[in-house]
Structure 1
């Protein structure tokens, strides 16, 4: 049944039946030998290959080899075909050296020789062995069809690398002519690639107008209904593409061409055209991100995503410098890059839990997205024109169904100003300034190898500045971090010069207007996530730390900040509270772990309204069962941060058999539902640290809890002392009880530690408090520390009213 659906191009049903057969095989594995397991796993390998899940495809092909019968008459052909398929998977993962080793080890049958030789030539080409690859291509007798087009395109690219322009042009023209003779109506990726490389060839020869013509030919071939009337035309709905990644490639090339024209002529018209094309590139990248969960999409984002944004952000900056009206475009570029995964997850959870949509609509949306991804990838891989027509029809039908589903969603969901952010419609300077109060300043940074783009956005101010990311700046940042992160008794803090230098570069660059704002939200990038801004100084001689005058918090993007502000304004409370301190007592189990006892951790958060779990009560199971119902969660324990998820964990009270069982790892946190949590405190070492990911910040424990739904997370950048944590947390909660928001309460607690000397003079240094950072929800309208005025004004009003009533009742 699965094979029947597969050859009928009904891929969703095909995969269902193949997977069902695989599950049956796994259940009775070892009990009896089932027939045709090699065929089953080969089919699954082919299906996953065509949906661009190359690692899973390779696994299935390897399983097929295990179950193949060496005594079968067709074993050699089967074995050779499977090994060739495995090599193809490796090629798709850009592992050309590994693929080449397999291809060279194969002894093909006559009917397999051309395909294996062509794949060998392609590997050689990608590895830079152009002459060897070209000789092999020229020796092949490739039958007509799309395989010939692929071979000709590779040969044209080789001649381009060898700077033999005329030969390259002739080869590309042959590929285009052959493709047109094969496919007269149906669009296909290989013809689009021939157009694209023809454009690249024109560009290296300085023929920009001709290059644009070829790029537009490629766009028309890739898009289902785009027709270029003018050179600067761009597709409308970028989701209507037979190959989104190739569409992205062509759009990016067109944007870069316009950028080059601007650099040469300094005419603003070209920077505007470049900006338009980059916006379309980003829209296409978002389509890939939302609809394609496969290895091809992963490879795309790992290898090409960041470099595109480096140029796009620079183009947006140049456009803004030429015309301040392009501020919205700069904000759009920045927001599309930053915190995208966190934001999409927040929107998904809002759709599930707040919009009132039935689960059936949410499941249908997920299924349609998967089907669009599968059919687009299959169409991308297809080499038969008749099948291509059928695949295009199915793809269009699923796109129409998804569009109708979105219409249903929008008719049921709130389309307020906050809701516009999902489509990018709300990402404008005017909207942001409407949504923030007069005391709020957003400082948003984007880091490249040589520059840092800094954006300052306040109620009545907006500017973008360039900051040199040179050796002097890096030395200052390294010195600042080294002085802060090195916590040793008796060692003097010597980071003032570096703290002042970073202030000049990262803050003072925006001018004196930033001083008028007291509540700063920092949206860092790259290594800036490791820097506590409140430890910078505006005057190093007077030790004027920013902490003393500014309330500083952090976030991953403006979109997330505003969306969380909207959700919090709809009624989040800090009522149910829970505290866990598994290492508060020096028990035998704690001693066996080798981890230190934390005697001050037990009462960091206390009170009659707090669920308190100490020592053996603070178990992982208790946390997982209680956490989803808590609005404030406080974890005072040990934690670990490393380069992969297995090294990132929170430790709960250890059980007798294994300490690993009582660690909460990143992947477990991601799967939690903490939508009721307003504040989660990670009072443990280095919980804000982790590996940097483009646009998403550090893959930290803090970020994982925000992904799980927590509005805000308080965490640490470097190691902390038990006594210091106890002091800061107790002070913070006392201030919160007076009505201060967490970020302002934390600030006041840090000031007490830095200036009072209550727990010792050695702690009068930013080493001991600046590591605590608050990220997440901020009240964008109340000024820092001003909550008490609400109560004062309310109280005065009550007194006046009572006095008025009393006066009215007095007899004359």
Structure 2
């Protein structure tokens, strides 16, 4: 390895240089030479971050980062063992959501400005092809099931997936050629002192970092910093969460799995949780955990704390500037009438009840169009969408909310389109009252390709979304309570906390499945 390093530096093969530096660090670590191991891991990360900083397209940056996680994990483990907790926290931040941090730190851009006209023509042709195939699939599935042509449906699904993949690749090509993307800057993570200064006196931030063998929790408020190593592996967390997400017994309000997760993730931290609000920066599998429902078997974490999540602690530098001075008006869409899609009757009642609180007219049925979002959301203080959500596992940028289409839009409000929506002027809150809207493709670099981050990029400071397929009636009740609380003067986090309490007081909805799916991401204001 040592003989290879000068050669790699001379020929400029920086990617292999980083791998070699990391391997040398690993060799020293295995020999018990901690100081040398730390030095080489730091060098490896410095080279990798230098390469990453020169990658301007967020998808390529995220893909590169996901291949580089090992050195971060090993270095963080060594720093914790040494008791150098501030350095461990710094590298935890450096390992997380860097592509998204760069997106939010830069001004909004138009990727098509200055792009090759042939690429733009190809993009339009692919869009039309995707819309046509989507419509064909709806038509094929709109027949009685005993009349389905399964072979034609399967072929059409395959063609649609291939077209979406081609579109994603084309978008990347357009971005690579974009002059505006070439001017993007890469930002450093915030120092611990800066993060502390951005927290108000009543908020504690918990940042988790999950490794193969153990998990770390960094607990930060505006005047203290604690680190708690937790002897629970990524595998144990994944298995326990999967058991809970099976929802086997909906009559048990305090599921055993959530008690075990509470014992691992919250109990050791309890002495340091002395504020009424907690900001959680999840990591790895913890992105899929409903923290509000963690329980000691007698009560829930959300009984004592108003909770919200953040993609990283460093993002606190950029979210407050997205905050608008006034709450603004409400744009509420619900129960879109779409051929082949089952109606959401409670969603229609939900948006009508919410709209009446704000003296506005809801858009329901045929009026719940995608066009309404594009034409009206930019001037709305709050955007509420009560509709079917679809998480696309093969093409996450095509995960969508199903609205009504017209001659301008296909009715599918998709992740890649949300990035182009401009909510920077008036919008303070986006509520996605639909299924699995918080779910996204999670890379090893902790980048989540999904609606949450797309709407934050679009300009709203706060998004409320769900972790699983929600119960229609219970969600309607939760939303009415949430908006009533907001209108009564509560902050967003407290409004959700109290709404969840109100829902679970109904004996039919006491299990966390009914009330814990929704969480807030971003800046919750005051």
Alignment deviations for residues 736-780 of structure 1 (CA, whole Å, 9 cap, x no partner): 12322212101101111112x3xxx2112222110111111134x
More helix per residue? 1
Q: Secondary structure of the equivalent of 2:473?
A: helix
Query: Out of 453, 461, 469, which is 2:216 matched to?
Result: 453
Q: Which residue of 1 aligns with 2:46?
A: 280
Q: Which residue of 1 aligns with 2:368?
A: 618
Alignment deviations for residues 192-227 of structure 1 (CA, whole Å, 9 cap, x no partner): xxxxxxx3xxxxxxxxxxx1x5413422442xxxxx
Unaligned runs of 5+ in 2: 117-179
What is the CA–CA distance in structure 1 between the aligned matches of 2:91 and 2:103, rounded to whole Å? Answer: 20
Q: How many residues align?
A: 458
Q: Which residue of 2 aligns with 1:261?
A: 28
- Does the alignment pair 1:601 with 2:359? no
- Aligned 8 A contact 1:274 1:315 in 2: no
Structure 2 vs 1, CA of residues 434 and 271 (structure 1 numbering), >3 Å: closer, same or farther? farther
Q: Which residue of 2 aligns with 1:180?
A: none
- Does the alignment pair 1:251 with 2:35? no
How big is the shift at 1:470? 6.2
Q: Which residue of 1 aligns with 2:90?
A: 332
Q: Secondary structure of the equivalent of 1:248?
A: helix
- Aligned 8 A contact 1:577 1:633 in 2: yes
Q: Secondary structure of the equivalent of 1:349?
A: coil
What is the CA–CA distance in structure 2 between the aligned matches of 1:509 and 1:248, rounded to whole Å? Answer: 39
Structure 2 vs 1, CA of residues 594 and 778 (structure 1 numbering), >3 Å: closer, same or farther? closer
Query: Out of 101, 107, 128, which is 1:343 matched to?
Result: 101
What is the CA–CA distance in structure 2 between the aligned matches of 1:458 and 1:723, rounded to whole Å? Answer: 38
Structure 2 vs 1, CA of residues 762 and 697 (structure 1 numbering), >3 Å: closer, same or farther? farther
How big is the shift at 1:518? 2.6
Q: Which residue of 2 aligns with 1:634?
A: 384
What is the CA–CA distance in structure 2 between the aligned matches of 1:608 and 1:265, rounded to whole Å? Answer: 64
Q: Secondary structure of the equivalent of 1:740?
A: coil
Alignment deviations for residues 298-346 of structure 1 (CA, whole Å, 9 cap, x no partner): 4x964x643532222321331243253x61x333322233222322222
Alignment deviations for residues 668-693 of structure 1 (CA, whole Å, 9 cap, x no partner): 22221222321000111221123322
Structure 2 vs 1, CA of residues 603 and 707 (structure 1 numbering), >3 Å: closer, same or farther? same
Alignment deviations for residues 58-109 of structure 1 (CA, whole Å, 9 cap, x no partner): xxxxxxxxxxxxxxxxxxxxxxxxxxxxxxxxxxxxxxxxxxxxxxxxxxxx
Q: Which residue of 2 aligns with 1:476?
A: 240
- Does the alignment pair 1:498 with 2:269? no
What is the CA–CA distance in structure 1 between the aligned matches of 2:404 and 2:251, rounded to whole Å? Answer: 36
- Aligned 8 A contact 1:669 1:708 in 2: yes
Q: Secondary structure of the equivalent of 1:534?
A: helix
Aligned ranges for residues 415-426 of structure 1 at < 5 Å? 423-424=187-188
Structure 2 vs 1, CA of residues 638 and 472 (structure 1 numbering), >3 Å: closer, same or farther? closer
What is the CA–CA distance in structure 2 between the aligned matches of 1:347 and 1:363, rounded to whole Å? Answer: 20
What is the CA–CA distance in structure 2 between the aligned matches of 1:530 and 1:652, rounded to whole Å? Answer: 26
Query: Out of 77, 87, 90, which is 1:317 matched to?
Result: 77
With normalisation by structure 1, the TM-score equals 0.52
- Does the alignment pair 1:701 with 2:448? no
Alignment deviations for residues 373-430 of structure 1 (CA, whole Å, 9 cap, x no partner): xxxxxxxxxxxxxxxxxxxxxxxxxxxxx9xx89xx9xxxxxxxxxxxx642x62222
- Aligned 8 A contact 2:418 2:454 in 1: yes
What is the CA–CA distance in structure 1 between the aligned matches of 2:456 and 2:229, rounded to whole Å? Answer: 30
Q: Which residue of 2 aligns with 1:127?
A: none
Query: Out of 289, 296, 309, which is 1:531 matched to?
Result: 289
Unaligned runs of 5+ in 1: 1-198, 200-210, 223-245, 353-358, 368-401, 410-421, 584-588, 783-812
Q: Which residue of 2 aligns with 1:739?
A: 489
What is the CA–CA distance in structure 2 between the aligned matches of 1:638 and 1:251, rounded to whole Å? Answer: 45
- Aligned 8 A contact 2:216 2:227 in 1: no
More strand per residue? 2
- Aligned 8 A contact 1:675 1:710 in 2: yes
Q: Secondary structure of the equivalent of 2:106?
A: helix
Aligned ranges for residues 201-600 of structure 1 at < 5 Å? 211=2, 213-222=3-12, 246-268=13-35, 270-290=36-56, 298=60, 302=63, 305-324=65-84, 327=86, 329-349=87-107, 423-424=187-188, 427-459=190-222, 460-469=224-233, 472-483=236-247, 491-493=250-252, 495-510=254-269, 512-537=270-295, 539-540=296-297, 543-568=298-323, 571-583=324-336, 593-598=341-346, 599-600=348-349
Structure 2 vs 1, CA of residues 767 and 643 (structure 1 numbering), >3 Å: closer, same or farther? same
Q: Which residue of 2 aligns with 1:667?
A: 416
- Aligned 8 A contact 1:633 1:679 in 2: yes
- Aligned 8 A contact 1:603 1:726 in 2: no
With normalisation by structure 2, the TM-score equals 0.77
Q: Looking at CA atoms only, which structure, 1 or 2, has the larger radius of gyration?
A: 1
Of the two structures, which has the highest relative contact order with CA contacts closer than 8 Å and spacing of 6 or more? 2
